[in-house]
Chains A and B, each alone.
Chain A
């Protein structure tokens, strides 16, 4: 745009120096063309938007159809879908065609005006040249330069109107940039070992009005395994959010080797607390890279060992490309259990003193679950482990079991003590035993 304006300006300056009256004639229509372009493209924005939206609607329809192929086929609705798509496709065509037609009108009309402007210069130029006010050469200069002035101006009007759209984008961008970011660096970096104490902890989410955790107190010693058992909605995940400082508790205290959790630097804390999420996200890289992600310095034997502990080594070996298999959209589709196990390998490779399994064995069958845990026990002596689970089988070997109901701790003990104590845990154990022996109906 700068180039266009520069050329036009220089050309105009020269023309005015040669012969001002003809130069005035040469620029008389410029404001008109410029304004016309500006106003026109301003007005066009809604047409642009409509065409954009129609395209979006068409893609959305296509996407839905593809995602729902099974439904479409099973209900025998191919014909109906085709009609639906045809409508969206037609709308997009018509709206875009309308847009192009408007553009055609603009370019046609502005060409007409620009060319008229040239004609004016030619006619007046003839008179001026005949009367000797300008030379033939200058007449030629006028005609050649006229084009250089006119054609860029049309585009300038268009570009200016596009800038309106740009300012909207800029303000949106600023909105994102202005959002406060999580403070990763401030705080202490104490040596983390794995003694954890929850002392009368209360917590609620910013947008919630109910306490998710109420007066939660318990403690774990380094190297112990703590199982947290509770029904859906009892606040199990929130407990873990607190431990990794994804959220901070509202009242009470949590300490890590006597260091108040809130004062520990987030970066440092998360490096020491390994968590495996229930629905882990794998990046679209190879399996090897995924396992190594949190610890890029890890060597191949370490990666393999982590995979073996997570009982996923054999599965990976069966893939054609083994550890080099790509994960994600372009790669293999992994089952929920396979994903969870790779995520476990990814987490344990870091040798964190604290490990959290957030229901992360839910998609793995009971036997594999058991073998993963026994392998873990072998290699991770001294590691404090949290097991969030809904399986009694997983919980019963833990050093300590916490039963969480409605955000409150209702029972604490071991499998032995809790089996004897009246309460939720006992009821579950009893029913389970009855079921295995009798094999009766519900």
Chain B
């Protein structure tokens, strides 16, 4: 399975409208909240445009004209009303944008998570965990941010520009044209710069993730680095990365530094034009001073929205990669699905109809099953096997012989390419995945625990288990004793991934979990790692308890497990080469005999070494 996972590099030069349409569909769920948000944004813009106009009134009515002061309280009141409105507007638009951002992210994350629960193993095989993590956390976060805050800026920016243009033209169209004259140039420059600035920030981020990677490698590989004396080489590489980071960051900073003055001088040109033309008009008495002031203020105010919109366009381009990756996750299709008829009868995994589940006996048949992960490398070829309820099957063979595949097919983590698997005489595919899994117990080579208490982890096997049932399960597999000895007994937090417990302890808890689930078919992928003798004996005993009355498949590594199995299947290159009990197979002096003497005596040796 040496399949490569290629990180797709998405082309970000053009806005992909089809893609954004799909994204906006996701956003459309929140349309009511969006309407409220845009209402507040337009209000903010209106007030923003109103202030310079109020200032103009202050000058023209109360100062230049030495006008009637009796109007002043009304003026002040109007001004105050605008201020109050603005305070409230600002509060609500931020709240509303935050609401949309968080709701959107929440929705899409839940969707993604749901999808992840449905996806088949083949997806997990070729998609690194880190990639999925990044999609669900940062990419969705970035999208949510853009769709709420950036879109909002767009609404605000265009409202302000429209508002200003409108007021300017209604006050003095000649001056208005003067102000608008530089805007196209300004817009073009802004877009040009913002694109580049964002691009270089993206470079910074890229280097940053490389630095993080190098960092974590440096720590996990510390022993190797020391023994091979790689300190200098590693330092050199790390140094090159941080150097790169610095260069990129400086580039981004320089771009911003050039951008601001250019924009400012352009702004000044337009202000100068207004002052030159308008100033003459004021001196001629054709234009009121307040109006001139209004236009200079508007000329300044016009720029900010423009800059925001330019930034926004660039941001959308950059976010396109995020959007594309998120969509690719959301639209991934699980390869193993139940047929519509099966779903109608048994429900889906997330909405099961448990009342329709048949009781299981535990007879398993592999009927001419073939399987491969990729066509050139067949793993199982025409594999047939009959197991009666209650039997213990030990699967023995070298790495890559196909043992794990048999188990994966039995769990329906994968489906046969040809042939079928029958349970109690019925094709697995005629019943739902949920039905199968609710009758299946599975204990992994390296047990996976979830963070939480010991009790919660055992209860995972049966969510509605009572306290007594949990303790009883623990007792059955001899886990009770050590659990009681833990600081907080069953309430002890096992840590992330069970990190606070030893491997042996984790295994025992995973056994208790499986016992509690009380499955009819039990699959055990036995651990190869060595544990201390005492724990190993306990585990051995636990396994024996587990196997009683269940059809069991064991990918076996321990001698004692193999020897005590009802049937040993020796798998070589996807076929059963030998089949029988330990005694029978040893007499044959065939492949199993060789395997046994070569590999398993080592285990015995190790045991001896320990006893001695």
* Interface residues, chain A, with chain B CB atoms under 8 Å away: 55, 58-60, 62-82, 85-86, 89-90, 92-94, 96-97, 99-101, 103-105, 107-109, 111-112, 115-116, 118-119, 122-123, 125-126, 129-130, 136, 139-140, 143-144, 182, 184, 229-232, 244, 246, 267, 270-271, 274-275, 277, 280-281, 283-284, 293-294, 296, 319-320, 325-326, 329-333, 335, 337, 343, 346-347, 365-366, 390-392, 405, 424, 427-428, 431-432, 435-436, 439-442
Q: Is B517's CB within 8 Å of the partner chain A? A: yes
Main secondary structure of the interface of A (DSSP, over half): helix
10 sample A-B contacts, Cβ–Cβ < 8 Å, listed by A number: A63-B133, A69-B121, A72-B117, A104-B91, A126-B62, A126-B72, A231-B609, A231-B610, A277-B224, A436-B601
Q: Is B259's CB within 8 Å of the partner chain A? A: no
Residues of A within 8 A of B230 (CB): 293-294
Residues of B within 8 A of A77 (CB): 460, 463
* Contact digits for B380-411, partner A, Cβ 8 Å, 1 yes 0 no: 00000000000000000011000000000001
Q: Which of A126, A337, A405, A439 contacts B612 (CB 8 A)?
A: A405
- Docked CA distance A231–B589 (Å): 30
Residues of B within 8 A of A270 (CB): 226-229
Shortest beta-carbon distance, A376 to chain B, in Å?
Answer: 18
Q: Which of B76, B224, B442 contacts A70 (CB 8 A)?
A: B442
- Closest chain A residue to B440 by CB distance? A74
Question: Is B213 in contact with A284, judged by CB distance below 8 angstroms?
Answer: yes
Question: Is A442 in contact with B559, judged by CB distance below 8 angstroms?
Answer: yes
Residues of B within 8 A of A439 (CB): 586-587, 589, 593, 596-597
Q: Is B549's CB within 8 Å of the partner chain A? A: no
Q: Is B116's CB within 8 Å of the partner chain A? A: yes
Residues of B within 8 A of A442 (CB): 559-560, 563, 604
Residues of A within 8 A of B593 (CB): 439
Residues of B within 8 A of A326 (CB): 4
- Docked CA distance A240–B438 (Å): 49
Question: At the interface with chain A, which of B80-88, B363-371, B473-481?
Answer: B80-88
Residues of A within 8 A of B66 (CB): 130
Residues of A within 8 A of B90 (CB): 104, 107-108, 111
Interface residue tally on B, bucketed by range: 35 or more
Question: Is B609 in contact with A435, judged by CB distance below 8 angstroms?
Answer: no
Question: Is A107 in contact with B91, judged by CB distance below 8 angstroms?
Answer: yes
Question: Is B117 in contact with A82, judged by CB distance below 8 angstroms?
Answer: yes
Among B59, B76, B610, max chain A CB count under 10 A is at B59
Question: Is B448 in contact with A140, judged by CB distance below 8 angstroms?
Answer: no
Question: Is A108 in contact with B94, judged by CB distance below 8 angstroms?
Answer: yes
Residues of B within 8 A of A126 (CB): 58, 62-63, 72
- Closest chain B residue to A71 by CB distance? B448
Question: Is A280 in contact with B224, judged by CB distance below 8 angstroms?
Answer: yes
- Closest chain A residue to B434 by CB distance? A76
Q: Which of B102, B442, B530 contacts A71 (CB 8 A)?
A: B442
Residues of A within 8 A of B602 (CB): 390-391
Q: Which of B64, B289, B352, B609 contacts A424 (CB 8 A)?
A: B609
Question: Is A93 in contact with B102, judged by CB distance below 8 angstroms?
Answer: yes
Which residues from 82 to 116 on chain B have a C-beta closer than 8 Å to any C-beta of chain A? 82-84, 86-95, 97-99, 101-103, 105-106, 109-110, 113-114, 116
Shortest beta-carbon distance, A126 to chain B, in Å?
Answer: 5
Q: Which of A58, A97, A116 contacts B102 (CB 8 A)?
A: A97
Q: Is B541's CB within 8 Å of the partner chain A? A: no
Question: Is A82 in contact with B113, judged by CB distance below 8 angstroms?
Answer: yes
- Docked CA distance A81–B116 (Å): 11
Q: Is B598's CB within 8 Å of the partner chain A? A: yes
- Docked CA distance A324–B220 (Å): 23
Q: Is B170's CB within 8 Å of the partner chain A? A: no
- Docked CA distance A268–B130 (Å): 39
Residues of A within 8 A of B106 (CB): 89-90, 92-93
Question: Is B62 in contact with A130, judged by CB distance below 8 angstroms?
Answer: yes
- Docked CA distance A232–B532 (Å): 9
Question: Is A67 in contact with B437, judged by CB distance below 8 angstroms?
Answer: no
Shortest beta-carbon distance, A44 to chain B, in Å?
Answer: 14
Question: Is B95 in contact with A101, judged by CB distance below 8 angstroms?
Answer: yes
Question: Is B221 in contact with A281, judged by CB distance below 8 angstroms?
Answer: yes
Residues of B within 8 A of A431 (CB): 604-605, 608
- Closest chain B residue to A325 by CB distance? B2
Q: Is B356's CB within 8 Å of the partner chain A? A: no
Question: Is A330 in contact with B5, judged by CB distance below 8 angstroms?
Answer: yes
Question: Is A59 in contact with B133, judged by CB distance below 8 angstroms?
Answer: yes
Count of inter-chain pairs, beta carbons less than 8 A: 295
Q: Is B297's CB within 8 Å of the partner chain A? A: yes
- Docked CA distance A428–B94 (Å): 76
Shortest beta-carbon distance, B254 to chain A, in Å?
Answer: 16
- Docked CA distance A267–B227 (Å): 9
Question: Is A331 in contact with B84, judged by CB distance below 8 angstroms?
Answer: no
Question: Is B496 in contact with A277, judged by CB distance below 8 angstroms?
Answer: no
- Docked CA distance A127–B560 (Å): 101
Residues of A within 8 A of B97 (CB): 100
Q: Is B233's CB within 8 Å of the partner chain A? A: yes
- Closest chain A residue to B293 by CB distance? A140
Question: Is A76 in contact with B228, judged by CB distance below 8 angstroms?
Answer: no
- Closest chain B residue to A231 by CB distance? B609
Shortest beta-carbon distance, B84 to chain A, in Å?
Answer: 7
- Docked CA distance A79–B353 (Å): 13
- Given A104-B98, A136-B63, A136-B289, also A112-B86 (CB < 8 A): yes
- Docked CA distance A271–B227 (Å): 8
Among A74, A80, A280, A442, max chain B CB count under 10 A is at A74
Question: Is A391 in contact with B605, judged by CB distance below 8 angstroms?
Answer: yes
Shortest beta-carbon distance, A239 to chain B, in Å?
Answer: 14
Residues of A within 8 A of B69 (CB): 130
- Docked CA distance A284–B237 (Å): 13
Q: Is B606's CB within 8 Å of the partner chain A? A: yes
- Docked CA distance A333–B105 (Å): 33
Question: Is A78 in contact with B598, judged by CB distance below 8 angstroms?
Answer: no
Q: Is B20's CB within 8 Å of the partner chain A? A: no
Q: Is B461's CB within 8 Å of the partner chain A? A: yes
Which residues from 113 to 166 on chain B have a C-beta closer than 8 Å to any C-beta of chain A? 113-114, 116-118, 121, 124, 128-130, 132-133, 136-137
Residues of B within 8 A of A244 (CB): 226-227
- Closest chain B residue to A240 by CB distance? B227
- Given A72-B117, A108-B87, also A392-B605 (CB < 8 A): yes
Residues of B within 8 A of A60 (CB): 451, 496
Question: Is B448 in contact with A97, judged by CB distance below 8 angstroms?
Answer: no
Residues of A within 8 A of B440 (CB): 74, 76
- Docked CA distance A331–B289 (Å): 71
Residues of B within 8 A of A343 (CB): 224
Q: Is B284's CB within 8 Å of the partner chain A? A: no
- Given A104-B95, A442-B559, also A119-B83 (CB < 8 A): yes
Q: Is B55's CB within 8 Å of the partner chain A? A: yes
Question: Is B2 in contact with A332, judged by CB distance below 8 angstroms?
Answer: yes
Question: Is A119 in contact with B117, judged by CB distance below 8 angstroms?
Answer: no
Shortest beta-carbon distance, B590 to chain A, in Å?
Answer: 11
Q: Is B427's CB within 8 Å of the partner chain A? A: no
- Closest chain A residue to B114 by CB distance? A82
Which residues from 573 to 591 on chain B have a C-beta closer than 8 Å to any C-beta of chain A? 582-583, 586-587, 589
Q: Is B313's CB within 8 Å of the partner chain A? A: no
Residues of B within 8 A of A277 (CB): 223-224, 227
Question: Is B434 in contact with A74, judged by CB distance below 8 angstroms?
Answer: no
Question: Is A62 in contact with B124, judged by CB distance below 8 angstroms?
Answer: no
- Docked CA distance A392–B604 (Å): 12
Question: Is B63 in contact with A428, judged by CB distance below 8 angstroms?
Answer: no
Question: Is B86 in contact with A115, judged by CB distance below 8 angstroms?
Answer: yes
Q: Is B28's CB within 8 Å of the partner chain A? A: no
Question: Is B612 in contact with A136, judged by CB distance below 8 angstroms?
Answer: no
CB-CB nearest 4 A-B residue pairs: A100-B98, A108-B91, A112-B87, A104-B94
Residues of B within 8 A of A332 (CB): 2-4
- Docked CA distance A126–B79 (Å): 14
Shortest beta-carbon distance, A338 to chain B, in Å?
Answer: 10
6 further contact pairs, Cβ within 8 A, besides A76-B437, A108-B88: A96-B98, A104-B95, A104-B98, A122-B58, A231-B606, A337-B399
Q: Which of A70, A86, A112 contacts B448 (CB 8 A)?
A: A70
